[in-house]
Structure 1
Amino acid sequence: MNKTQVKLIEAAEHEFAKHGFHGASIRDITARAKANIAAVNYHFGSKETLFIEMIRHRLEPLNTLRIELLDDAVAKAGKRPLKIRRIVDILVRPMVESVVNGPQNRNFMRAMGRGMSEESEFMQQIYKDVLAKVVERFRLEMARSLADLPESVVAICFAYLRSTLSGVMQIRKNNLVLDTSIQFPDADTLVAYISGGIEAIAKDYRTQNK
């Protein structure tokens, strides 16, 4: 990615955070980036693609790290499945420490949160292009750790995990807008909350089906 593309992405983060996807204008984005008004179309093709590349720019390095950490944990565990808390920690901690609570990413979190709340059709494309691979990798690892549970129960557990992480982005967005006195939970707290819920669901199912 060249310098102009990075400047456009950084400018887009600010404008999308402030105005939402639909409210942000190409003119304001290029003006903030000190670029020609045609630069977005030249480098990205459209505002939708610019938004997708903004997400990719921030999340692909994070997802690469997640997969590397997961592969390392699986290799060290040998044939033993990972503990649920370990899987959740690998998925959640990098996001919280480098994206959610990283001060340099405040605009990104708000921009992504607003984009998700607007439910634009291309959010499905973002999921497919940027998130699907890492989501499937962690879902399969969770299924291996919960192999004694029906697939439907595992699916519910993973759906709760994904919903919580989506909620994190929404809360972080609203925190920036509505109440800056709210302290967002650290990685340890969020990992405990999510893994505790999944473990409780698993325990309840096992108790009922002895």
Structure 2
Amino acid sequence: MLKRSFDSMPTMPTTGTPPNSTASTKDRILAAAETLFAQRGFDGASLRQLTAAAGVNLAAVNYHFGSKEKLVDEVFRRRLDALNQGRLAALATVAGRDSTTLEDVLEAYIRPALELTHDDNGALFMRVLARAFAEHDDHLRQFLSENYGHVMRQFTAEFTHLLPHLSRAELYWRIDLVTGALTHAMSGFGMIQRKGDVSATAHREQTVAHLVRFAAAGLSSP
């Protein structure tokens, strides 16, 4: 379980400019945390390892985040805010139209997530996300539900409209499995790796196409 506070750390004033504070200090801490969480997990990455990697002291971490749980939250927030804005924007272009297909809605859900992995930082975050699923941290689950649950509810409403033959429980099972497949594809751990003569963009498009077809078949089966 994550430590809930940095009780052993010196406190910082809540106003003014803290020592070692620059415009990039918070970003350096977040980048170091993302790397260490991906490599070691949330409990396995210590604050001393994090401060060494970021080139800051414990007081700076305390000033910017206050607790390890809040630091984990911010690692997720800085990626997931943009991801879910992209998903909702994509969904808004297809939702509610008579011509909207299941594949349209799935692409709105899948493509923005895969586009997040277009660089090494995005791919690294996907490994952090995979850790979150594996480690079953209750605080993190609550944070994700409270801050991003509304996105999943909007997609679920559209899936419900397009798949009236499914019970709510069955639909939830299938969406959960689709999300697991998407997370696996985004983490880069799978058997399908990009070939040297295939561009990153072309590989991403192939992945989108395969995932949409796979997910549509799974969601729509009797």
Aligned counterparts, 1:49-198, within 5 A: 49-74=70-95, 77=97, 80=98, 82-99=100-117, 101-168=118-185, 172=187, 174=189, 182-183=193-194, 186-198=207-219
Paired letter, 2:136: E
**Partner deviation per Cα, 1:7-36 (whole Å, 9 max, x = no partner):** 111110111112111111112212222222
CA distance in 2, matches of 1:157, 1:135: 13
Q: 1:21 to 1:149 in 2, by over 3 A?
A: closer
> Which secondary structure does the structure 2 equivalent of 1:21 belong to?
coil
Match of 1:208 in 2: none
Percent identity between the two aligned chains: 29
Q: 1:152 to 1:16 in 2, by over 3 A?
A: closer
Aligned counterparts, 1:15-54, within 5 A: 15-54=36-75
CA distance in 1, matches of 2:169, 2:131: 31
Tell me the C-alpha RMSD between the 2 structures.
Answer: 2.4
Q: Is the 8 A contact 1:116 1:123 kept in 2?
A: no
CA distance in 1, matches of 2:170, 2:124: 36
Q: Is the 8 A contact 1:83 1:145 kept in 2?
A: yes
The structure whose RCO (Cα within 8 Å, separation 6+) is larger is 1
Q: 1:173 to 1:51 in 2, by over 3 A?
A: farther
> Which secondary structure does the structure 2 equivalent of 1:147 belong to?
coil
CA distance in 2, matches of 1:116, 1:157: 16
Q: Is the 8 A contact 1:85 1:192 kept in 2?
A: yes
CA distance in 2, matches of 1:117, 1:9: 21
Task: Normalising by structure 2, report the TM-score.
Answer: 0.75
Q: Which has the higher helix share?
A: 1
Q: Is the 8 A contact 2:116 2:123 kept in 1?
A: no
The gaps in structure 2 that reach 5 residues or longer are 1-22, 195-202
Q: Is the 8 A contact 1:97 1:187 kept in 2?
A: no
Q: Is the 8 A contact 1:113 1:173 kept in 2?
A: no
CA distance in 2, matches of 1:33, 1:131: 28
Give the deviation of 1:162 after TM superposition.
Answer: 2.9
Task: Normalising by structure 1, report the TM-score.
Answer: 0.79
Q: Is the 8 A contact 1:74 1:81 kept in 2?
A: no
Match of 1:11 among 32, 54, 73: 32
CA distance in 1, matches of 2:95, 2:161: 11
The gaps in structure 1 that reach 5 residues or longer are 205-210
CA distance in 2, matches of 1:97, 1:85: 17
